[in-house]
Amino acid sequence: MRDQFVIRVRIIAGVVIFVALVILGRLYYLQIMHGDRYREMANNQYIQSSSDVFDRGSIYFTEKDGNKIASATLRSGFLLAILPDKIDDPEAVYSTLSKYIEFDKETFLARASKKNDPYEEILNHIDTDVADAIRKEDIEGVQLFREQWRYYPGGSLASHILGYVGFGGESRFQKGQYGLERYWDSVLTRKDEEMHVNFFAEVFTNARDFLENDVRKREGNLVTSVDPSVQQALERALLQTEDEWHAKSIGGIIINPKTGAIYAMAALPSFDPNNYSKEEDVSVFSNPFVEDVYEMGSIIKPIAMAIGLDVGAVTADTTYDDTGSIELDTYTIRNYDGRARGVVDMQEVLKQSLNVGMAFVAEEVGGELLGERMKEFGFGEETGIDLPFEAHGLIDNLNSPRKVEYATAAFGQGIALTPIGTVRALSALGNGGYLVTPHFVETIEYDDGDEAKVAPDDRKQVLKPETSEEITRMLVEVVDTALRNGTVKKDRYSIAAKTGTAQIAKVGERGYYTDRYLHSFFGYFPAYDPEYLIFLYHVEPQGAQYASETLTTPFMDLVDFLINYYEVPPDR
């Protein structure tokens, strides 16, 4: 028995050795004798990332009931290609194909006539029914390949949020170029999109590097806080405002000031990410909310006033003698109309938007302290929003030894901020006094089944809660009694709001244009426990000087929409 066992072991060992020798011989044959040939084939497999293997994670909007709506997904169809060396009669082929698809005849004939050219791609994104009809024609030299491509069901809806996927730089592969597509590209990209690996590639790939690259990247889908109905309402309001006032550009955002979750963001002019290549002006792809900076004007007054309240320099009842203008460091600061008001209190400063009153606040706080507290609101830093190319504010004037710089900063001139940085700072007025991080993506749903909450929770206290409540009360008074003379007040809802009208600085020289303005408007509600903050702005509107004329109506229309859509209960 023992001898038989030894014999069986030896037979098995011999078989194993034989198999090993066969494998080694095969590898020698592949790698040494024919290595160059198969290496070239492997390289070709790497290089030819055919469209049918394109894959990418989805981006979802979220409706108020929690339902997910795809805003960036994949669409399937076919690519039509020809083999010119197989086509004997290009005219006849064109005649047959043109019954189903539209394409340039001259270009087709030129390509189909290249007898030494084995392959030409003619048309992408052909629907399945059209492809089936073409296939039934059984045309010699015509081929159809299944493909997938990035598709945005909403067209231009939320284009500045989403961005687009396309070719850029030196990469041979499609990447996210703007918006969430770019910021979250590493999560949305699928590895097979960049490298189609088959048997030959596996043989000649460094296995360790391949595995490391595979496990470092977790692929998934993005679930955002954007509500498509709210996004549509915002874009509709912007279009109507643009039609009426013909501004050079316009933008708006609706955000939860307590969490930083963004329900909608839009800017005009816009673009369709499905057809981004048709845009002649590439600047349309940039998101002005994060990439541009502006002197925001009077909507900064509540922030400076809140700082004054917070440090005990002023109260709502503090008074001063308003003379209409004052001299600081050889510069004259005037109220918007140059008129004196006499003895007025801080509430009246906000109601009448008095520049001289804000210069008084800056003096009472002290320039250096005011500058430091403004920096605490994040004016000179990025917000951390999940969009690419974010700029930071230009706040050199907050480091100046001159009083005039702090006085002008207190009413929103001389410092330039991004709109999103402004929104972040303004949110602190009503949310109890803390900065939040504005964001879109709430959750990542990974392909392996895991789910991760990625919404930031890193709030920073910049005002006392009682200061937040007091500045809110003052801004509610502005709406109830001063905004359009109190005619837009809502009896059952408290709204805290302020307008801003800023002169636009001249380009390449000192001073400001006297006939060009940036209008802005922000407000939040329910005022003492706000769920929604709306911020609107437009650059160089025509036919009106003040923001109260141009932006009150769209703001109040959006308030009405949100109250009805979310069924917001009255708070008074």
Say if residues 555 and 523 touch (Cβ distance below 8 Å): yes
CATH superfamily of 51-224: Penicillin-binding protein 2a (Domain 2) (3.90.1310.10)
Q: Which residues pair with 143 in a beta bridge?
A: 81
pLDDT grade for 3, boundaries at 50, 70 and 90: low
SS3 content of the chain, % helix, strand, coil (to 5): 45, 20, 35
Residue 20 has what pLDDT? Answer: 54
pLDDT grade for 301, boundaries at 50, 70 and 90: very high
> Over the chain, what is the mean pLDDT?
88
Comparing 96-105, 203-212, 219-228, 317-326, the range with the smallest average pLDDT is 203-212
Q: Is the pLDDT of residue 41 over 70?
A: no
> How far is 522 from 297, CA to CA, in rounded Å?
12
Q: What percent of the chain has pLDDT over 90?
A: 80
pLDDT grade for 509, boundaries at 50, 70 and 90: confident
Residue 370 amino acid letter? L
pLDDT grade for 42, boundaries at 50, 70 and 90: very low
Q: What is the DSSP code (8-state) at residue 506?
A: P
> How far is 520 from 568, CA to CA, in rounded Å?
25
Residue 201 has what pLDDT? Answer: 36
- Higher-confidence position of 205 and 446: 446
- Higher-confidence position of 215 and 360: 360
Residue 173 has what pLDDT? Answer: 81
Q: Which stretch, 17-21, 48-52, 115-119, 288-292, has highest mean pLDDT?
A: 288-292
pLDDT grade for 393, boundaries at 50, 70 and 90: very high
Residue 213 has what pLDDT? Answer: 42
Architecture of the domain made up of 228-274+285-565: 3-Layer(aba) Sandwich (3.40)
Say if residues 450 and 494 touch (Cβ distance below 8 Å): no
Q: Is the pLDDT of residue 212 over 60?
A: no
Q: Is the pLDDT of residue 195 over 80?
A: no
Q: Among 351, 363, 355, which residue's Cα sits nearest to residue 334?
A: 355
Say if residues 559 and 534 touch (Cβ distance below 8 Å): yes
- Higher-confidence position of 164 and 40: 164
Q: Is the pLDDT of residue 337 over 50?
A: yes
Comparing 38-52, 65-79, 183-197, 549-563, the range with the smallest average pLDDT is 38-52
Q: Among 245, 285, 291, 252, which residue's Cα sits nearest to residue 269?
A: 285
Give the helix/strand (H/E) hosting 90. Answer: helix 90-97
> How far is 406 from 399, CA to CA, in rounded Å?
9
Domain borders along the chain are 51-224, 228-274+285-565
| Cα distances (angstroms) measured from residue 151 to each of 74, 101, 159, 163 | 5, 20, 12, 12
Per residue in 76-129, pLDDT (tens digit) is: 999 999 999 999 999 999 999 999 999 999 999 999 999 888 899 999 999 999
Q: Is the pLDDT of residue 407 over 60?
A: yes
Q: What percent of the chain has pLDDT over 70?
A: 85
> How far is 305 from 467, CA to CA, in rounded Å?
10
> How far is 311 from 306, CA to CA, in rounded Å?
9
Comparing 103-117, 164-178, 389-403, 415-429, the range with the smallest average pLDDT is 164-178
The strand ranges marked E within 238-301 are: 249-255, 262-268
Q: What is the mean pLDDT of residues 249-271?
A: 98
Q: What is the mean pLDDT of residues 488-511?
A: 92
Q: Among 389, 360, 381, 562, which residue's Cα sits nearest to residue 462?
A: 381
pLDDT grade for 14, boundaries at 50, 70 and 90: low
Per residue in 145-159, pLDDT (tens digit) is: 999 999 999 999 999
The torsion region of residue 485 among left (phi > 0), alpha (psi -120 to 50) and beta comes to left
Q: Is the pLDDT of residue 15 over 70?
A: no
Residue 342 has what pLDDT? Answer: 97
Residue 508 has what pLDDT? Answer: 79
Per residue in 433-455, pLDDT (tens digit) is: 999 999 999 999 999 899 999 99
Encoding tokens for residue 563? 């109250």
CA geometry: angle 122, 124, 130, nearest 5 deg? 95
Comparing 193-202, 268-277, 557-566, the range with the smallest average pLDDT is 193-202
Residue 288 has what pLDDT? Answer: 97
- Cβ neighbours of residue 338 under 8 Å, at least 6 residues apart? 324, 325
